[in-house]
């Protein structure tokens, strides 16, 4: 069984769907966050999953990433799933986990890398939006796409309504892709 670490910065709803779907496909061995107050951390603790949290600004980015890397390895993590982790990992960190980090991004990549994806899709007049699971490389949101799910953009859609529609697909897509990718 592949041992998976999850990195979060906030709510952690994708983390929850990944944990819920674990079964034989993978085991979630640690949840780590760059925000000690992330609500998802409390959920992980309540569910008996080891956690790690450290604010980069308290120790500097290098020391933060060194401590993160050490905690993930100490927990036995072999692969990492970014789930609403809102910080760019350094080239050095990515190199240490080469081809062992995946991310979910709320757009149909290569469209709308970065932030504010839903507002940008609506403003562009797109008919569809969605989410992508991709391999993490040094370049933001640019690694190989493993799978995508699409949702329609409705007339008079708001970015919040669209985000909720996409998020429901994220929760379905991410655990499925992880199970496949970790057992490929």
Closer residue to ligand GAR (CB): 39 or 70:
39
Of 42 and 63, nearer to ligand GAR (C-beta) is 42
Residue 105 bears catalytic tag:
yes
- Binding residues for (6R)-10-formyltetrahydrofolate, as ranges, are 61, 86-89, 103
Paired with 7 in beta bridges are: 32, 82
Give the residue ranges of the annotated binding site: 12-14, 61, 86-89, 103
Q: What is the DSSP letter of 78?
A: -
Q: Which is nearer to ligand GAR, 26 or 84 (CB)?
A: 84
Phi then psi for residue 31, to 5 deg, are -120, 125
| Residue 148 Cβ vs ligand GAR, minimum distance, rounded to whole Å | 12
The one catalytic residue among 47, 105, 134, 171: 105
Interface positions with ligand GAR (CB under 6 A) = 8, 10-14, 40, 83-84, 86, 104-106, 131, 167, 170
Find residue 150's DSSP bridge partners: 130
Measure the CA–CA gap between 9 and 75, rounded to whole angstroms. Answer: 19
Backbone φ and ψ of 32, nearest 5°: -120, 150
Cβ atoms of 108 and 148 within 8 Å: the answer is: yes
Catalytic residues: 105
């Amino acid at each position: 069984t592949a041992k998976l670490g999850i990195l979060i910065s906030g709510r952690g709803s994708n983390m929850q769907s990944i944990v819920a779907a674990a079964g034989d496909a993978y085991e979630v061995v640690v949840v780590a966050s760059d925000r000690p107050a992330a609500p998802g951390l409390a959920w992980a603790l309540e569910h008996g999953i080891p956690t790690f949290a450290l604010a980069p600004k308290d120790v500097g980015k290098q020391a933060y990433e060194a401590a993160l890397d050490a905690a993930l390895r100490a927990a036995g993590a072999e692969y990492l799933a970014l789930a609403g982790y809102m910080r760019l990992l350094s080239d050095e960190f990515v190199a240490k986990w080469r081809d062992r980090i995946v991310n979910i991004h709320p757009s149909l990549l290569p469209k709308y890398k970065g932030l504010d994806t839903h507002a940008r899709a609506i403003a562009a007049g797109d008919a569809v939006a969605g989410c992508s699971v991709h391999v993490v490389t040094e370049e933001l949101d640019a690694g190989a796409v493993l799978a995508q799910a699409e949702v329609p953009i409705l007339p008079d859609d708001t970015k919040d309504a669209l985000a909720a529609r996409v998020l429901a697909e994220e929760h379905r897509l991410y655990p499925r892709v992880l199970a496949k990718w970790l057992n490929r």
